[in-house]
A = this chain, B = another copy of it.
Amino acid sequence: MIERIGILGGGQLARMLVQQGQRLGLQMSVYCENKNDPAAQVTNLATISTFQDLKTLQKFCSQQDLVTIESEFFPADLLAALEKQSKAKIFPQPKLLAQLQDRGPQKTLLMKQKVSTSPFALVEKQKDLTEFAQEFGFPIVLKARMGGYDGFGTYILKDKQAVGEFWKKFSRQSWIVEKFISFQSECAVSFARNRKGEIVHFPVNQTHQVDRRLDWMTGPLKTSAALKKMLKQLEKFVRAIDYVGLITFELFETKTGFLVNEIAPRVHNSGHASLEACNVDQFTAHLLAITNAKLPKISACQNYGLLNLIGDNQKTFSLPQSAGLGHLHWYGKTENRMGRKMGHITILASSEKEVLQKLKQLRKR
């Protein structure tokens, strides 16, 4: 029997999930707001409505065997209700998602499972910030508990005055405060775990942010004792929370070891190169995990890199001539807005040096 998979969301992550699911012979449906959303273009099974239209949402879910999400910020309560009303199983599990999508419980979970991460506190009043700064020193990092991504919803406060200004402006939202970490580099790694409990992870990637957004990345990161320690902690964590599906950890590499910066309970921009570089890609791994198929050990066949193609407000589109240098993925977004992720190019090469050279060449165009 063909498994029917529904995705809530219609952006590029959903688009690539749909395309990889179709290769596996799964029936891939999407629920999204516009008929020309990136994922709606790649299936004949799109339901177009708002996420406030509960009746249509429920109908959509009841037509699926499994439902999954594109964004970790989908209301977890709504997800739980949809699971109850439909016969579809939802992954990641709504209860778990509720904890992971809120940076407060997310950090608490990490700490509870003894995963290395920066010290933090929940913020309820301005005094919480000054007290935290007294203990850990300035600067301090404020992160919105809900809805932050790509560095949005993150503020670095360098002194008491900044704390005062911040509090005046943002005290109505919910925040956590973290110790500022002086890191050497940023990395990311994704794990996949199926319903039987089999667990695999992808090679670790080095990520490079520009304007708080992933701009380019390379991999695989060479292994080290510190990295092995981190991966061991993460595998234990994924098992402990009984996660099913693909989960991505954004890491800081510091002089004294790796720390978890944030968790994205979903496929992730840092993992797109797995489409060409690995024996299994992150989208396929997520689908194998939630359908409870066997998870093969994952490895990269070459060195690789990725360059995001960021929108520049131009109205016209022409097939990037740079396609020849790498593997182009254009997301089919109808509007080329400034700063928007419009696509990416994957580079494969036999050495890290060659990857970096090719990325530089691409960057020039």
Interface residues of A (CB under 8 A from B): 1-3, 19, 22-26, 35, 40-46, 276, 279-280, 284, 288, 291, 293-296, 301-302, 316-319, 321, 323-325, 327-332, 343, 348
Complexed CA–CA distance, A324 and B41 (Å):
28
Q: Is B348's CB under 8 angstroms from A321's CB?
A: no
Q: How many whole Å from A82's CB to the nearest CB in chain B?
A: 24
**5 A-B residue pairings within 8 Å (CB atoms):** A1-B317, A43-B44, A280-B324, A293-B323, A301-B302
A37 — nearest CB in chain B belongs to which residue? B44
Contact status of A296 and B319, CB under 8 A, knowing A22-B19, A35-B44, A330-B24: no
Complexed CA–CA distance, A23 and B41 (Å):
11
Complexed CA–CA distance, A279 and B349 (Å):
10
Q: How many whole Å from A200's CB to the nearest CB in chain B?
A: 10
Q: Is B324's CB under 8 angstroms from A295's CB?
A: yes
Contact status of A348 and B301, CB under 8 A, knowing A25-B343, A319-B291, A332-B25: yes
Q: How many whole Å from A342's CB to the nearest CB in chain B?
A: 8
A18 — nearest CB in chain B belongs to which residue? B42
Complexed CA–CA distance, A23 and B280 (Å):
18
Contact status of A328 and B24, CB under 8 A, knowing A317-B1, A321-B293: yes
Beyond contacts A42-B42, A301-B302: 18 other A-B pairs, Cβ-Cβ < 8 A, are A22-B332, A24-B323, A24-B328, A25-B328, A25-B330, A26-B319, A35-B44, A40-B44, A41-B44, A41-B45, A44-B44, A284-B323, A288-B319, A288-B323, A293-B321, A293-B323, A294-B321, A301-B301
Q: How many whole Å from A129's CB to the nearest CB in chain B?
A: 46
Q: How many whole Å from A160's CB to the nearest CB in chain B?
A: 50
Complexed CA–CA distance, A2 and B294 (Å):
39
In the bound complex, residues from chain B placing their C-beta under 8 Å from that of A330 are 22-25
In the bound complex, residues from chain B placing their C-beta under 8 Å from that of A2 are 317
Complexed CA–CA distance, A288 and B319 (Å):
9
Q: Is A3's CB under 8 angstroms from B44's CB?
A: no
In the bound complex, residues from chain B placing their C-beta under 8 Å from that of A325 are 296
Complexed CA–CA distance, A153 and B348 (Å):
43
Most buried by B among A43, A296, A330: A330
Q: Is B22's CB under 8 angstroms from A42's CB?
A: yes
In the bound complex, residues from chain B placing their C-beta under 8 Å from that of A279 are 327, 348
Contact status of A1 and B288, CB under 8 A, knowing A294-B321, A332-B22: no
Complexed CA–CA distance, A24 and B332 (Å):
9
Q: Is A294's CB under 8 angstroms from B25's CB?
A: no
In the bound complex, residues from chain B placing their C-beta under 8 Å from that of A323 are 24, 284, 288, 293-294, 296
Contact status of A1 and B316, CB under 8 A, knowing A41-B43, A321-B294: yes
In the bound complex, residues from chain B placing their C-beta under 8 Å from that of A44 are 35, 40-44, 46
Contact status of A319 and B3, CB under 8 A, knowing A301-B348, A324-B294: yes
Complexed CA–CA distance, A317 and B26 (Å):
10
Complexed CA–CA distance, A295 and B325 (Å):
10
Q: How many whole Å from A27's CB to the nearest CB in chain B?
A: 8
In the bound complex, residues from chain B placing their C-beta under 8 Å from that of A295 are 324
